[in-house]
Amino acid sequence: MKIGQVIKENRNRKQLTQEALADLINVSRSTISSWENGRSYPDLEMVLSLSEEFDISVDQLLKGDSDIVHELTKDSRLKKKHRLVITGLTMVMLLLLVVMFKFQFKARDISSSDIVSAERTGDEVVITFKKSLFYKEVACNIDNQDSSKTIYISMDRMFAPFSKNTNVFTIEFESLKNSQSKPIKIVNDEFEVIYDVKEN
């Protein structure tokens, strides 16, 4: 006996309309109609739900219908493949994230060997680095409060793989406009001077 006929007989035995059965297992009435008329087959999850609603075993529901058994086997294999693909993609994404964070935290501090030149023009400081690689943004802080009247700029390389590929950075500081006579020094996170900015 085909599963569509089994579903219809058991639905009638339970005195359920197609709509009532559909509501019980959270599908549309047209889906129930398609199953009963053999236009489509329930998947494994729906077979289990129907088995529970009809109080019969899965074996009783599927017995004699080789087509549905074939469809469920194929569906199960496809779902397994999909799970493997999703798992694989998730692993690749996690690996990429690990690599990205490794790049971000590796050699994060700016050092003197990274800088080719640094020049000041008015309220701008133009810094040229040897390479850009993945480090395409620079976070900067300025400190001109010390007693020697020296302006210190500290920088960190920030991982930005989708930024514009450049190794030249122009930094604008409003506070530099009235500080023409102050020397500017680039420092690392430990406040060690790594480069003297030249006046242009």
pLDDT tens digits, 31-83: 999 999 988 888 888 888 999 999 998 888 877 666 666 666 666 676 777 78
The verdict on residue 66 lying in a domain is yes
18 vs 128, higher pLDDT: 18
Domain that holds residue 57: 3-100
Q: Judge if 95 and 120 occupy the same domain.
A: no
Cβ-based neighbours of 23, under 8 Å, separated by 6 or more: none
Total number of domains in the chain: 2
Q: Judge if 90 and 172 occupy the same domain.
A: no
Q: What is the CATH number of the domain that holds 34?
A: 1.10.260.40
Q: What is the mean pLDDT of residues 116-122?
A: 83
Specify whether the CB–CB gap between 1 and 63 falls below 8 A: yes
Task: Using a pLDDT cut of 70, give the percent of the chain over it.
Answer: 66
3-state class of 73 per DSSP?
helix
Of 69, 49, 52, 73, the residue nearest 3 (C-alpha): 69
Q: Is the pTM value of this prediction over 0.95?
A: no
- Which residue type occupies 90? T
Q: Judge if 7 and 94 occupy the same domain.
A: yes
**What is the CB neighbour count within 10 angstroms for residue 200?**
10
The verdict on residue 192 lying in a domain is yes
The verdict on residue 106 lying in a domain is no
The verdict on residue 125 lying in a domain is yes
> Of the candidates 75, 100, 125, which is a domain's last residue?
100
Q: Judge if 96 and 154 occupy the same domain.
A: no
Q: Judge if 62 and 133 occupy the same domain.
A: no
